[in-house]
A and B are shown apart, each in its own frame.
Chain A
Amino acid sequence: GDSVTQMEGPVTLSEEAFLTINCTYTATGYPSLFWYVQYPGEGLQLLLKATKADDKGSNKGFEATYRKETTSFHLEKGSVQVSDSAVYFCALRSSSRASGGSYIPTFGRGTSLIVHP
């Protein structure tokens, strides 16, 4: 079945440092890929997405490129801020309907990011 693997956290950085959170996936066909962010006390919210190979999703200074050849969707930001401290989830949504007839979303374990001033 589909799966998503994220790097273990927590990732601890100083403000203005460069961020990379690795994400690789296993899926049949051409899934859509997503990064979600969960700030303390809140639910997950969509950060960015890419729906086909070589697409780059971007939002709030974060970027991720859909790499089919390496089945990866790594999240990057050039200069992190304290306010970026959160848990980041990589996810995919299959392009094939599951037996139940839906496009089942699959999530990674989440990577906690802590940014110090």
Chain B
Amino acid sequence: EAGVTQFPSHSVIEKGQTVTLRCDPISGHDNLYWYRRVMGKEIKFLLHFVKESKQDESGMPNNRFLAERTGGTYSTLKVQPAELEDSGVYFCASSQDRPQSPLHFGNGTRLTVT
């Protein structure tokens, strides 16, 4: 089966600009998660979709971040306007809805805001 894919793999933007990250989960996985890791720190939960519905967005840092999952397939995460502290690696993961099921991760998008 195809894995989780993320695009782009790298993005370098200036403070104040807009960036949109995309994630294509494994087909049939209703659960989709966005995480962020800043250098050397923990993988921080951002939000979670079940199909097209946001189940938990408690980790979203502020209203500059907007995530969507139209039609319950791929998801986008938009940062507008970007700030320096938004730099990091953004991971997307998908899974089946069972506690024993592992997450399947994409390779991440490395975002650098200058």
Contacts and interface: CB of A to CB of B under 8 A. Distances in A.
B48 A49 contact: no
Nearest to A44: B105
Interface in A1-53: 31-32, 34, 36, 41-46, 49, 51
Given A107-B42, A110-B42, A110-B43, A46 B48 contact: no
Interface string A91-117: 101110011111111111110000000
Nearest to A105: B103
Interface residues of B, number: 30
Contact of B48 (A34, A95, A100): A100
Contacts of A44: 43, 91, 93, 103, 105
Given A45-B105, A93-B99, A104 B56 contact: yes
Interface string A60-103: 00000000000000000000000000000101011100111111
B2 to A, nearest CB: 14
B42 A103 contact: no
Contacts of B33: 105
Q: Which are the 6 A-B pairs with shortest beta-carbon distances?
A: A100-B55, A43-B105, A100-B56, A43-B107, A107-B43, A109-B42
6 contacts: A36-B102, A36-B105, A44-B93, A104-B56, A105-B95, A107-B35
Interface of A: 31-32, 34, 36, 41-46, 49, 51, 89, 91, 93-95, 98-110
